[in-house]
C-alpha cells in the first residue's frame, strides 16, 4: 500500500504492475497500470443511499484480468495519475422531493448538489483516458412542449437551504443558488434546470466540492430573469482550488432566460 | 470587295464581336456570381438550399448574357421566347411524368417536410435521406439498400419524418391476467420506467387501461426516450417489464380456450397418461 493522498483529486503515483482501487460514492473504479497500457474497470452501485460518503483510494500490487476492462495503450511509463472532478455535459433538472415555494419579496439560498464526472488523466501530459460519471443519471426532457426544449439529466435532491444540514458526499459538487422573488405571486420551485455545463469545480481544503454560486431574481413586471454566475467559489468554502473549468463558454445571452425555462411550466 | 470588307468591319463584324464579348462576359461572370452567392448562403441556409440558389444564379446570369448577345446579333427576343414557349409545351406533353416530378420537387423544397440526413418513412420504406433532387429523393434503408422515390409519390403519399423532434414516445401494448390488481401492475411498470436510465423522467410515463380483452386486461404503457435511444429503450424496457412481472408474480396470459361439451352430448373422454410411460413408447 502507498501513502493516502489528502484528497481524492490529488495526483497519485501508480507504478507499473500496481492497481488503484477507488471507491467514490456509488462508483467503484479499478485502474491497473500494466506494462505499456492502463486498464480501467468500473461499476456502479444500484442505490446511492448505501454508498460510502467519503472517497476511498488505495494503491496495491495487483492486476485486472477481467475481459470487461477497457485498455488504453500508453507507451510512456510515467506513473502519474490524476482523477479530476468535472461536471456533467448537459443541464441537470433538479426536482426537490418536497414542493418548495418562495413567497413574494423573499430571497433564499438553496444548496443543490450534482454528481461529478471523474476524468481519468495519466502521464506527464495529463492525457485523458476516460470520463466516468460517479452516478449515472437518467435522462429527462425540460421544455414547455415535446417539440421545444432541451435534453437534460434528471437529479433528485432535497435542495437544502441550511448549509449546516448539507451532508458530506465526496462524489457530489454543491452549487449555492440564490433566488429572489420580487413578483406578486409565490414562486414554485418544483423544477429547476441547473446549467452545470457552464460551471467549474472547486475543491475545498475540507474535501468538499463546490461550484460558482448562481443568483437569480424574478422581477415584478417581466417573466424574464437574469441568471448571474459569480466568478469564483463561494467565500464560506474557505481556501479553494479550481479543479476543472466549464465545458461550455458562458455567453452573455445564454444566461438570460425565461423563468419558465428555468423552473418549468406550471400546469 | 472593298465595300463588303467595309461593311464587315463596320457593322456585322462589330455586331458579332459585341455579341461574342457579351457571351464571354456572361461565361466569366456567371461562376463568379454563383460563387458569391454560395459564400453568402453557406452559413445562412441549408446545404440543399444554397446549392439550389447557386444553380439558379449561375443559369440566370448566363441566360441573361446569352439573350443580350442574341439581341446584339439581331434576333428578336419576343419571337425566340414564343418559340421557346411552344417548345416547352411540346416537351411538357411529351414528358408529363418528369415535369410532374420536377414541380413536386419544387414543392418539396418549399415545404421542407424533411432535410438531407433525416430518417423518413414512406409507405413501407424507412431510411435516411441521402439527397433531395429535382426528380426524386434518394434514401438509404437500414438494411443498406439504395431507394429512389419519385418526388410525385412523396407529394401524394403520407411521409413520416422520424427525426423531426428530439424525443419520441414508445407505446407498449401489454396484457395481464384477470386475477391481477391493476394498481399493482401500474406500480410495477412505473418502477421499471423509473429504474431505466434511457426512459425520460419527463414527460412522465403514461399508463392507460384500455379495457377487458378476450383473455387479458389490456394496458397501454407509453414511455419517452431521446430519439437516438429509442431502439435501446425498446429492447431494454420490454425485457425489464417481463423480468419485473415474473418477480412480482404478475401473469402475462395467452389466449385460453374452454371447451364445453354441452348438455346434449356426452362428456369428452379424458385419458390420463403417465408421462414416463409415454416417453418410453
Predicted pLDDT at B240: 93
Residues 19-58, chain A, touching B (beta carbon < 8 A) = none
Q: Binning pLDDT at 50, 70 and 90, where does residue B264 land? A: low
pLDDT at B67 over 80: yes
Letter string b/e over residues B42-74, b meaning 16 or more CB atoms within 10 A of that residue's CB = eeeeeebebebbbeebbeebbeebbbbbbebee
Picking from A33-47, A91-105, B122-136, which range would have the lowest pLDDT averaged per residue? A91-105
Nearest to A147 among B165, B200, B224 (CB): B165
B165 CB neighbours in chain A (<8 A) are 146-147
Residue B224 binned pLDDT confidence (cut-offs 50, 70, 90): very high
Cis peptide before B150 (omega within 30 of 0): no
B64 Cβ neighbours under 8 A, 6+ residues apart: B26
Please tell me the predicted confidence (pLDDT) of residue B104: 85
Query: Chain B partners of A149 at a C-beta cutoff of 8 Å?
Result: 166
Comparing alpha-carbon positions, the chain B residue that sits nearest to A146 is B167
- Decide if pLDDT at A8 tops 80: yes
Region A92-101: mean pLDDT is: 79
User: Which chain B residue has the Cα nearest residue A138?
Assistant: B197
CA distance A147 to chain B (A): 6
Structure confidence by residue, pLDDT tens digits, A66-87: 778 889 998 888 889 999 999 9
Residues 143-202 of A with CB under 8 A from B: 146-147, 149, 151, 154
Name the percent of chain B lying above pLDDT 90. Answer: 28
Q: pLDDT band for B192, please (50, 70, 90 cuts).
A: very high
In whole angstroms, give the CA distance from residue B215 to residue B123.
Answer: 33
Hey, which of A55-64, A92-101, A254-263, B120-129 has the most confident mean pLDDT?
B120-129
Report the pLDDT averaged over residues B62-88.
83
Please, which pLDDT band fits residue B41 given cuts at 50, 70 and 90?
A: confident
DSSP A115-178: E-EEEEEETTTTEEEEEEESSPPEEEEESSSSSS-EEEEEEEE--BS-GGGPPP-TTEEEEEEE
User: What is the per-residue pLDDT for B78?
Assistant: 81
Global ipTM: 0.77
Could B197 and A146 be called an inter-chain contact, meaning their C-beta atoms sit closer than 8 Å? no
C-alpha–C-alpha distance, residues B209 and B5, integer Å: 98
Residue with cell 452567392: B37
CA distance A107 to A178: 7
Bridge partners of B251? none
The predicted-structure confidence for B225-235, as pLDDT tens digits, reads as follows 998 899 999 99
CA distance A244 to A201: 5
Choice among A145-154, A247-256, A257-266 with the minimum mean pLDDT: A257-266
Contact B166 A151 (CB under 8 A): yes
Collect all residues of chain B within an 8 Å Cβ-Cβ radius of residue A192.
none
pLDDT-derived band at A202 (thresholds 50, 70, 90) equals very high
Residue holding cell 356426452? B266
What does the pLDDT read at residue B280? 54
Is A252 an 8 Å CB contact of chain B?
Answer: no
Tell me, what's the pLDDT at A1? 42
Q: Which residues of A touch B202 (CB under 8 A)?
A: 93, 140-142, 154
CB within 8 Å: B226 and A137: no
Per-residue pLDDT, averaged over A9-28, amounts to 89
- A154 and B165 within 8 Å at the Cβ level: the answer is no
Least Cα distance to A195 among A84, A95, A94, A102 occurs for A94
CB–CB of A138 and B201 under 8 A?
yes
Distance CA B229, CA B241 (A): 17
Q: What is the mean pLDDT of residues B4-10?
A: 61
- Which residues lie across from B149 on neighbouring strands? B137
Which pLDDT score, from 0 to 100, does residue B222 have?
94
* Chains A–B, number of C-beta pairs less than 8 Å apart: 42
Amino acid at each position: 500500500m502507498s501513502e493516502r493522498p489528502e484528497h481524492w483529486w490529488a495526483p497519485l503515483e501508480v507504478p507499473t504492475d500496481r492497481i488503484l482501487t477507488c471507491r467514490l460514492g456509488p462508483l467503484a473504479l479499478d485502474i491497473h497500470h500494466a506494462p505499456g497500457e492502463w486498464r480501467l474497470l468500473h461499476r456502479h452501485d444500484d442505490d446511492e443511499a448505501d454508498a460510502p460518503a467519503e472517497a476511498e483510494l488505495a494503491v496495491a500490487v495487483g492486476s485486472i484480468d477481467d475481459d470487461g476492462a477497457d485498455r488504453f495503450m500508453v507507451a510512456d511509463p510515467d506513473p502519474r495519475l490524476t482523477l479530476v472532478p468535472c461536471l456533467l455535459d448537459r443541464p441537470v433538472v433538479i426536482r426537490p422531493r418536497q414542493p418548495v415555494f418562495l413567497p413574494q419579496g423573499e430571497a433564499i439560498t438553496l444548496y443543490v448538489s450534482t454528481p461529478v464526472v471523474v476524468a481519468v488523466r495519466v502521464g506527464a501530459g495529463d492525457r485523458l483516458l476516460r470520463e466516468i460519471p460517479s452516478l449515472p443519471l437518467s435522462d429527462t426532457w425540460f421544455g414547455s412542449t415535446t417539440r421545444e426544449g432541451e435534453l437534460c439529466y434528471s437529479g433528485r435532491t432535497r435542495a437544502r437551504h441550511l448549509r449546516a444540514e448539507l451532508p458530506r458526499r465526496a462524489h457530489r459538487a454543491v452549487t449555492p443558488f440564490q433566488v429572489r422573488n420580487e413578483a406578486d405571486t409565490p414562486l414554485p420551485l418544483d423544477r429547476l434546470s441547473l446549467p452545470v455545463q457552464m460551471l467549474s469545480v472547486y475543491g475545498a481544503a475540507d474535501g468538499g466540492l463546490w461550484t460558482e454560486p448562481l443568483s437569480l431574481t424574478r422581477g415584478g413586471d417581466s417573466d424574464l430573469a437574469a441568471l448571474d454566475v459569480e466568478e469564483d467559489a463561494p467565500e464560506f468554502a474557505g481556501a479553494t482550488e479550481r479543479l476543472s473549468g466549464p465545458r461550455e463558454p458562458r455567453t452573455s445571452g445564454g444566461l438570460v432566460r425565461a423563468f419558465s425555462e428555468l423552473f418549468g411550466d406550471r400546469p | 470587295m472593298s465595300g463588303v470588307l467595309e461593311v464587315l468591319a463596320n457593322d456585322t463584324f462589330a455586331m458579332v464581336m459585341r455579341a461574342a464579348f457579351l457571351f464571354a462576359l456572361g461565361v466569366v461572370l456567371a461562376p463568379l456570381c454563383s460563387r458569391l452567392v454560395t459564400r453568402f448562403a453557406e452559413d445562412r441556409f441549408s446545404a440543399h438550399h444554397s446549392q439550389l440558389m447557386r444553380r439558379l444564379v449561375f443559369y440566370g446570369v448566363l441566360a441573361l448574357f446569352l439573350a443580350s448577345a442574341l439581341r446584339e446579333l439581331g434576333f428578336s427576343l419576343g419571337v425566340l421566347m414564343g418559340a421557346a414557349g411552344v417548345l416547352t409545351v411540346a416537351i411538357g406533353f411529351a414528358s408529363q411524368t418528369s415535369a410532374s416530378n420536377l414541380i413536386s420537387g419544387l414543392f418539396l423544397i418549399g415545404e421542407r417536410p424533411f432535410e438531407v440526413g433525416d430518417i423518413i418513412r414512406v409507405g413501407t420504406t424507412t431510411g435516411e435521406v441521402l439527397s433531395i433532387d429535382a426528380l426524386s429523393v434518394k434514401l438509404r434503408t437500414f438494411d443498406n439498400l439504395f431507394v429512389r422515390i419519385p418526388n410525385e409519390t412523396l407529394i401524394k403519399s403520407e411521409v413520416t419524418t422520424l427525426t423531426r423532434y428530439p424525443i419520441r414516445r414508445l407505446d407498449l401494448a401489454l396484457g395481464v391476467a384477470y386475477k391481477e390488481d391493476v394498481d399493482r401492475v401500474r406500480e410495477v411498470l412505473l418502477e421499471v420506467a423509473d429504474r431505466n436510465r434511457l426512459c425520460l423522467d419527463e414527460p412522465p410515463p403514461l399508463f392507460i387501461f384500455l379495457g377487458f380483452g378476450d383473455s387479458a386486461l389490456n394496458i397501454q404503457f407509453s414511455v419517452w426516450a431521446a430519439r437516438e435511444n429509442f431502439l435501446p429503450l425498446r429492447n431494454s424496457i420490454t425485457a425489464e417489464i417481463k423480468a419485473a412481472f415474473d418477480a412480482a408474480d404478475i401473469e402475462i396470459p395467452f389466449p385460453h380456450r374452454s371447451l364445453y361439451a354441452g348438455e346434449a352430448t356426452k362428456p369428452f373422454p379424458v385419458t390420463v397418461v403417465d408421462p414416463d410411460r409415454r416417453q418410453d413408447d
